[in-house]
Structure 1
Amino acid sequence: MWSPVPWFFALATATGVLWGLTARSGGLCLTLAIAEAGIAGTFLYSHGRLVASVTAAISLIPIPFLFINNSAVLFQVHLPLMALISLGSFSGFRMALRNTRNELESQRLTQLLTDNQAQLQDKIKQRTSEIEQANKRLNFEVELRKEVNQALIQSEEQLNLAMTASGIGFWDWDIPHRKVYHSDPERFFGEQSAVDSETFSLVDYVAEPDVPQVRRALAKHLRGQSEYYQMRYQVFLPETAQPRWIEDIGKVTERDARGRPIRMIGTRRDVTKDMQLQEELSLSSSLFNNSADGVFVLDQHQQFRTCNRVFCDIFGRQKGELLGLPLFQVIRTDQTQRISQSMISNGRWSGDLFSQRRGGERFPMTMTLTTIRREDNSVSHYLGICRDQSESQRTEKELRYLNNYDKLTGLYNRGYFHEIVGQFREHEPLLTEHYAVCVINLDRFKSVNESLGLEVGDQLLKDLAARLNNLQEPIRQVARLSSDEFAMIIEFEQDRDMLLSMLEHLQAEITRPFLVGEHELIVTASIGVCVVTEGNLTQLLNHAIAAMNQARYQGGNNYQFYHQRLATTPLERLQLEKALRKAVINNEFSVDYQPKMNLHTGIIDSVEALVRWRHPHKGVLDPDDFIPLAEETGLISAIGEQVLNKACQEAAAWRQRGFGDISISVNLSSHQIRRNDLYDIIYNALQNSQLPAEYLELELTESMLMEDISHAQDFLNQLRSLGVRLALDDFGTGYSSLSYLKRLPIDTLKIDRSFVAEARQGETSPIVEAVMAMSESLRLNVVAEGVETREQLHYLESLGCDYAQGYIISRPLPASEVLTLIRHSNLQTLSQATDAVH
């Protein structure tokens, strides 16, 4: 109701009607109407609808009236004036509209600027607040960093003080760059200026006898074969006359992608006092064990804790029987009451008495018993010393020593050791998994006598006997059975881990260098072990010797437990030896071939010859069943010659039948390489078979070559002059130095199957990778033995291995079957097979 548009429109309509009715007479109405339109256009130009409604009413309503009356005013006055007024009103409206828009835009911009200024001020305040908070946090972190640095400095000072006080030094070895950081070098190696991290070499300071052990322990840890590197060695300083003992403990902390060590960190401390104390304890132990008197120790309840061998000899009982027994149950005397009262009142008793041995024999003896007390005066132990006083017993003991002890070494001899072993049959009840009989045979001891003389050999045996006799529990009796064969009894008390640990320690003690005159000798031994059970009491020594022979067959420097497969009675052994000699004469040996696949081409182009004995009654026998006996009897050379001739003839026949260039590998035994005519044997085999020499490969083991490296080098060069290739079998399992590898004319390295077995289920073998890297630098071919899974095969291919040999490719096959396999072999066949080619 309050909108101005209807009111103005009604007014203009009325005015237009009035004007139209009176337009014919003109006058005041016409003037007022036109004036109204002009005024409306002038004053209402900013309101377009008002101007339009007024102008439209005044312009249009009079037209019909003027047109009907045929008035000239319509065209002469009304229409021109109204057109002019409409044009002016429209122009004014547009100008007003433009001004209004400009004013609104100006107001909008002004408001926007005001709002932006407010927002900007808010943001500035917020950013200023954030900067202030950041400055506060930064100041807090700076203060905290200062406190942490101060704490670290203080902690480092405390650590250095603690390490200095405890005598511990720290070292950090950057292996690729050959730099070593030492925290306190002058304490261990003299002046600090003499220990330069750029040129430091530990072996320059280590005493020469300890250098091989340090190198071996360090290399073992770097290859990942031990969790920690730990070694004690002697160093000689210019200002000190006595050597100083140092102990290093370290661990590799970083390795590269191929498993090679990058960084090693460890500690070092002076253990001279510890070694002196250990030596004193060893001397005390030696005095205890080798005392001419019987010495024993009782616990606080007067029960036997330990005793020496003489005490056991006096009473004729085993040490294991005595432990835990009360004193007067072992030393049976009628002076029990007097001895007990004296021990209570004086803490000591000494005197003569009569006691009883096993079997009821009474004998005179003197005994001293002393109480050992703690600081609080409570009883800790009792120490007893006794001596057999009977003259007849002394004479018997001397005769017994002459009859039962070895003259050279002072150990029990073979006869008395048989008696000791026989006592197991008297044990009631016999403790199962409690004792083990161990036989030790030195590897290649004959070469020591032949090269250095019998005197050096005898002294070596004496030193070894002393070393074995000084071994601590659980080793009991030690005996010398023959020239270089020893035996002992180990009481491991159902603790298999203790037994294995003792055997490892025994091997380490044997391989520790001996200094005989001006010679430093390193020997190894083959060890056979037989665990005492109810079923083998009559064959303990024979079984241990059979296990020892198995250890010798596997290359020596290892120990083997007896198992039923090694069981042969002396009669069976003689019969087998007789059959073996007849087999050599009758040529009963055949050759199977195990293929080797070329991993670069996927083709089988090489095989290894493996001997088989076709026994007329027992069928085909594996090498494990007769090779140890052939080694002992010397028949292995004749067998090896037959295998060589057959392998060369069949390889030559394959070439004539068009099977391509197939190389053949033949194993040589230690007996063969010692023969002076081996060169002629190989030459004749090649000539008779017409096989080109480059297709024959001879395999030797590290242990064979390390017996005499100079002879091995000359011997191998002679073989190479024939044109044959040479392979080093079971590489990595021996004790050869890698420096010799560069001197020997070797073409191929064969990685032992034990290392290949580590690469299962996606795992890697650091040793395999190390051998591959070394062979690449020396430009040697590599053959991996014992490949049984596809994962192992792919792993070896990724490392660039040249050949693979194992059950995934094929088992050893007769010549006819291996030819069929070779004919159809290719890489695609192998990749499509589920488990194996054959």
Structure 2
Amino acid sequence: MKIQMYSEFETLRHRRLQYLLKNAPYYWLTSLGLSILCAIYELNFKETLHLGSIAVLVCVSIAGYLSTVFSQVQARKDPLWSPVLWFLAILLCNSMVWGLFARHEPFFNSLALVLAAVASMAFYSHGRLSAAAIIPATLIPIPFLYFSNLEFLWQLHLPAIILIYIASKQRHSMGLANVRSDFEASRLNHMMTTTQTDLQKTIQQKTHELQEANARLSTEVDLRKDVNQALINSEEQLSLAIATAGIGFWDWDIPARKVYHSDTERFFGFQQLPGQEPLDLFDIVLEDDILVIRKAMLDHLRGRTDYYTARYRVKTIRNQDIKWIEDTGKISERDDLGRGVRLLGTRRDITLDMQQQEELSLAASLFNTNPDGVFILDAQQNFRTCNRAFCDILQRQKGELLGEPLFKVLRTEQHARIELGVANNGRWNGDIVAARGKDERIPISLTLTAVTRDDKSVSHYLGIFRDLSDVSSATANTETLGHTDKLTGLYNRGYFHQVLNQFHEHRPLQENHYAVCVLNLDRFKTINESLGIEVGDQLLSDLAARLNNLQEPVRQVSRLSSDEFALIIEYENDQNHLHEILTAIQADVTRPFLVDDHELIVTASIGVCIVSENNLSQLMNHAIAAMNQARYKGGNNFQFYHQKLATSPLERLQLEKSLRKAIVNHEFSVEFQPKLNLSSGIIDSVEALVRWRHPHKGLLDPQDFIPLAEETGLISAIGEQVLNKACMEASTWRDRGFGDISVSVNLSSHQIRRDDLYEVIQNALKTSQLPAEYLELELTESMLMEDINHAQDFLNQLRSLGVRLALDDFGTGYSSLSYLKRLPIDTLKIDQSFVAEIRPGEKSPIVEAIMAMADSLNLSVVAEGVETRQQLEYLESLACDYAQGFIISRALPASEILTLIRHSNLQMLNQSPESVH
């Protein structure tokens, strides 16, 4: 029976009972065994049989064992239940029978002494039970031995019981001391854990409240009352965030008539120095706005309003500039009579907002004189007003239009695309075909923009409407519609190929440094299968709207197929700028989509081909090859085409055939890359990496066959072989005495979607006899973020096996802390791209942020791609748990990795400036 951890029901008495129930079976099994031994001895060596007494011993022993089992079950149901009286009665019976039985001869007496010694060890937690089991069995034989004049009494029996009594007393004292110590340690640990959990919950709640804009003031008041030491330690970071948001504070002590203003330099052009006379706000407020402030303040102090809010103008002390300021405040303290004695508030510079409002007012004056049709809709997209040009274009009266829905007036088949674009981006601009009168169809240019309130809700829509009915415009519009993808409104594959042909026809285009990109959504098929095709189509439409709104230098966006898009980027031979553009595109893709109440987070693999004279006929093929390489890298990244990716269809077919044979013939081997434990200085963990020696081509790089294995679905079979071999090797190392070496195995997206993955891992552990805690499974963020609820259930199922779970390439995807807390992850692996940014004498904010977050979530950290001594020392200073990279060792076969492990220690770090091992 496993000793339970501290709980709200547990007391010292309960803990002693747990030890009693844990040890009692050993006593009864010993009694039963000795009884059987007596029976064998009687049958073989004695003429006079005492089988009746032996039968009593057997029955009592069995009854004692069964009562112990029953007591264990009952104790789990009712922590306050105690079987001590039962045990005392059964033990007395058993001990007395043994004492009577031990009087017959020395052999039986010796067995009784052995049982008494066992009792002193089994019942040390309860002195009465120990005495009941020892005293009758040892004292009852004394008179019989004495009157029988047996030397055995003086030679063995009396010395033995003296030793047993002394040992029992010492064991009882020491045992109770250990029980008390264990109980107090568990209780203190429980109290510390509970306190820490409560503290973390409080911090999370207060942080969330601070982010709620509509409850900003209430949150800050609560923070002043409930702030704890942990928030005091982070005061510097909080102040920085507030300053970045452009928010100031003020604090008015009403009875003392003193007001503290923060950041007076920014708001009023005046720096408040210590000991200087406090700033009187009315000295710099414009006279016309003083009454506004006083009225708002009196209304709040007299309880007419929940909050004090005022907008006013000030003339800055230094430059005499006019600024608009918005103050929001609330009474935080009252006296015994309910009168406010302290008013706290925030301050915001709204000069830019007021200027924008003025500009909107000026723009409104152009409404009626604009030659284009201009109209305004309410939040439900019904007409509120329109100008004369709009009525002339549609040949309708203004009174007919007011209150009518927009798309009932325009009657265009493209209304779904327009609504989607406005919903996702707040604006839509394009050419459509609309109805005029009963039968006439006219091409028009439409711009529709959503105007929002301060709370981000839509207040109305502004539209601009231009007639394209002339012959040239109509012809161009017809051609555009012929090249448009119906679902997304983007140009289609045919038109994109026409654009690519321009690189053949116009040599200057080849010299302007263009890049052709193919973008493919990672695991889009899962969304279609789990949520339905309608959700998938809506997601593609939303993504198309985002891509279509990309700014220069993105010149062209088209949809090639289901979830595949193409882009042309003009980067002017600036590779760094091209990297920035691609990174920005990935950031746009990974922003959450809201589709039918589903919050979807997707990532994309992007392949890039640089346009040159030598590849004009292969631009698409090369970009697709690079995109496949990005998918092999785990998705959510971009890759540039290089010559090694060029593979003909025939070569791919032959390679696929060889892959299938390799799986059948078990041609894949496993190499292991070590991880250095930075706290102990030894290698106690390795990562398993697949290797394939082709019968004709020799050793192939994984990137030459893994992408094809992913596409064909063969990666699952390969991953299963790697898992089995890695577990067998790790188990062999343990058997050979190399210690507790953990092994990490990567899981592919194909594997985690299989229903039998749980059984595959379970069978690998069972076959290899490797303890589950020495197997770690590595997954990427992009795999888990497809369906966070499924991922949580799936990972909990794997954790039930006892294995550890690691999140690979952390930080390269959409890293949501709220999701991360829900997942049963043990380890974070910092992506090597972040480690590569570590420079001598400089800090890495990203690496330090990951370390701080992992520490708060109690996760271990592994840094990948460590290649220099400076990187290793920096990671050690941050208390990183493990380092993995070429400075430690490359991936090695099993035989070589054992040699490395045998000689690994921290002293080698000082022996070589460039390598640890």
TM-score interval, normalised by the smaller of the two chains: 0.5 to 0.7
The answer as to whether partners of 2:603 and 2:782 remain within 8 angstroms in 1 is: no
Q: 1:706-762 deviations in whole A, cap 9, x for unaligned?
A: 222222222112212212111222222221322333332222222222222333323
Alpha-carbon distance change, 538 to 654 in structure 1, aligned in 2, over 3 angstroms: same
Alpha-carbon distance change, 507 to 642 in structure 1, aligned in 2, over 3 angstroms: same
User: Residue 545 of structure 1 aligns to which amino acid in structure 2?
Assistant: I
Give the alignment of 1:296-311 within 5 angstroms. Answer: none
1:786 match:
865
The answer as to whether partners of 2:206 and 2:219 remain within 8 angstroms in 1 is: no
Once the two structures are TM-superposed, the CA of residue 672 in structure 1 deviates from its matched residue by 0.8
Match of 1:537 among 602, 608, 616: 616
1:577 aligns with 2:659: no
Alpha-carbon distance change, 429 to 814 in structure 1, aligned in 2, over 3 angstroms: same
1:406 match:
485
Q: 1:622-662 deviations in whole A, cap 9, x for unaligned?
A: 22222222212211111100100111111112222222221
CA distance in 2, matches of 1:445, 1:269: 45
Q: Which moved more, 1:738-747 or 1:401-410?
A: 401-410
Give the alignment of 1:50-89 within 5 angstroms. Answer: none
1:389 aligns with 2:471: yes
Once the two structures are TM-superposed, the CA of residue 698 in structure 1 deviates from its matched residue by 1.1
Once the two structures are TM-superposed, the CA of residue 490 in structure 1 deviates from its matched residue by 2.3
1:415 match:
494
2:719 match:
640
1:824 aligns with 2:903: yes
1:807 match:
886
Match of 2:559 among 480, 498, 502: 480
Alpha-carbon distance change, 193 to 177 in structure 1, aligned in 2, over 3 angstroms: closer
Match of 1:446 among 525, 528, 539: 525
Match of 2:803 among 718, 724, 741: 724
2:679 match:
600
1:5 match:
none
Once the two structures are TM-superposed, the CA of residue 577 in structure 1 deviates from its matched residue by 2.5
Alpha-carbon distance change, 266 to 703 in structure 1, aligned in 2, over 3 angstroms: farther
Match of 1:761 among 820, 823, 840: 840
The answer as to whether partners of 2:866 and 2:872 remain within 8 angstroms in 1 is: yes
SS of corresponding position for 1:537 = helix
The answer as to whether partners of 1:247 and 1:271 remain within 8 angstroms in 2 is: no
The answer as to whether partners of 1:230 and 1:247 remain within 8 angstroms in 2 is: no
SS of corresponding position for 1:476 = strand
CA distance in 2, matches of 1:823, 1:768: 31
RMSD: 4.5
CA distance in 1, matches of 2:542, 2:798: 39
2:736 match:
657
Alpha-carbon distance change, 508 to 808 in structure 1, aligned in 2, over 3 angstroms: closer
User: Residue 673 of structure 1 aligns to which amino acid in structure 2?
Assistant: I
The answer as to whether partners of 1:793 and 1:804 remain within 8 angstroms in 2 is: yes
Q: 1:167-208 deviations in whole A, cap 9, x for unaligned?
A: xxxxxxxx999899x9xx9xx97899667465499xxxxxxx
SS of corresponding position for 2:511 = coil
Once the two structures are TM-superposed, the CA of residue 679 in structure 1 deviates from its matched residue by 0.7
The answer as to whether partners of 2:246 and 2:348 remain within 8 angstroms in 1 is: no
CA distance in 1, matches of 2:602, 2:359: 28
1:681 match:
760
Give the alignment of 1:709-748 within 5 angstroms. Answer: 709-748=788-827
Q: 1:357-381 deviations in whole A, cap 9, x for unaligned?
A: xxxxxxxxx9xxxxxxxxxxxxxxx
CA distance in 2, matches of 1:767, 1:500: 19
Q: Which moved more, 1:620-629 or 1:664-673?
A: 620-629
CA distance in 2, matches of 1:397, 1:635: 47
User: Residue 818 of structure 2 aligns to which amino acid in structure 1?
Assistant: S
SS of corresponding position for 1:529 = strand
CA distance in 2, matches of 1:598, 1:193: 47
2:152 match:
none
Alpha-carbon distance change, 797 to 247 in structure 1, aligned in 2, over 3 angstroms: farther
CA distance in 2, matches of 1:696, 1:190: 48
Q: 1:419-451 deviations in whole A, cap 9, x for unaligned?
A: 221221111344424322121112232232223
The answer as to whether partners of 1:665 and 1:698 remain within 8 angstroms in 2 is: yes
2:641 match:
562
Alpha-carbon distance change, 464 to 703 in structure 1, aligned in 2, over 3 angstroms: closer
Alpha-carbon distance change, 715 to 193 in structure 1, aligned in 2, over 3 angstroms: closer
TM-score (norm 2): 0.50
The answer as to whether partners of 2:867 and 2:887 remain within 8 angstroms in 1 is: yes
Q: Which moved more, 1:494-503 or 1:558-567?
A: 494-503
Q: Which moved more, 1:612-621 or 1:494-503?
A: 494-503
1:702 match:
781
The answer as to whether partners of 1:758 and 1:764 remain within 8 angstroms in 2 is: no
2:697 match:
618
Q: Which moved more, 1:500-509 or 1:613-622?
A: 500-509
Match of 1:506 among 578, 585, 593: 585
Q: 1:377-421 deviations in whole A, cap 9, x for unaligned?
A: xxxxxxx99877389x95x985x6676432222322223322221
TM-score (norm 1): 0.54
CA distance in 2, matches of 1:692, 1:179: 41
Q: 1:75-94 deviations in whole A, cap 9, x for unaligned?
A: xxxxxxxxxxxxxxxxxxxx
Alpha-carbon distance change, 776 to 582 in structure 1, aligned in 2, over 3 angstroms: same
Once the two structures are TM-superposed, the CA of residue 677 in structure 1 deviates from its matched residue by 0.3
The answer as to whether partners of 2:730 and 2:743 remain within 8 angstroms in 1 is: yes
The answer as to whether partners of 1:742 and 1:778 remain within 8 angstroms in 2 is: yes
User: Residue 721 of structure 1 aligns to which amino acid in structure 2?
Assistant: S
CA distance in 1, matches of 2:702, 2:843: 31
Alpha-carbon distance change, 467 to 731 in structure 1, aligned in 2, over 3 angstroms: closer
CA distance in 1, matches of 2:358, 2:785: 35
The answer as to whether partners of 2:503 and 2:510 remain within 8 angstroms in 1 is: no
Give the alignment of 1:74-113 within 5 angstroms. Answer: none
CA distance in 2, matches of 1:609, 1:277: 63
CA distance in 1, matches of 2:522, 2:350: 36
**What number of residue pairs does the alignment pair up?**
514
Once the two structures are TM-superposed, the CA of residue 599 in structure 1 deviates from its matched residue by 2.0
Uncovered stretches (5+) of structure 2, i.e. residues with no partner: 1-202, 226-233, 248-305, 310-323, 327-346, 365-369, 374-442, 444-465
The answer as to whether partners of 1:433 and 1:533 remain within 8 angstroms in 2 is: no
Residue identity (%): 69
User: Residue 793 of structure 2 aligns to which amino acid in structure 1?
Assistant: D
1:160 match:
none
Alpha-carbon distance change, 462 to 573 in structure 1, aligned in 2, over 3 angstroms: same
SS of corresponding position for 1:486 = strand
1:427 aligns with 2:533: no
The answer as to whether partners of 1:679 and 1:719 remain within 8 angstroms in 2 is: yes
The answer as to whether partners of 1:231 and 1:247 remain within 8 angstroms in 2 is: no
2:27 match:
none
The answer as to whether partners of 1:749 and 1:782 remain within 8 angstroms in 2 is: yes
The answer as to whether partners of 1:179 and 1:198 remain within 8 angstroms in 2 is: no
CA distance in 2, matches of 1:275, 1:582: 71
User: Residue 567 of structure 2 aligns to which amino acid in structure 1?
Assistant: M
Once the two structures are TM-superposed, the CA of residue 273 in structure 1 deviates from its matched residue by 7.3
1:141 match:
none
User: Residue 736 of structure 2 aligns to which amino acid in structure 1?
Assistant: R
SS of corresponding position for 1:538 = helix
Q: Which moved more, 1:749-758 or 1:705-714?
A: 749-758
Q: Which has the larger radius of gyration?
A: 1
Once the two structures are TM-superposed, the CA of residue 787 in structure 1 deviates from its matched residue by 1.8
Give the alignment of 1:195-274 within 5 angstroms. Answer: 196=220, 199=223, 271=353
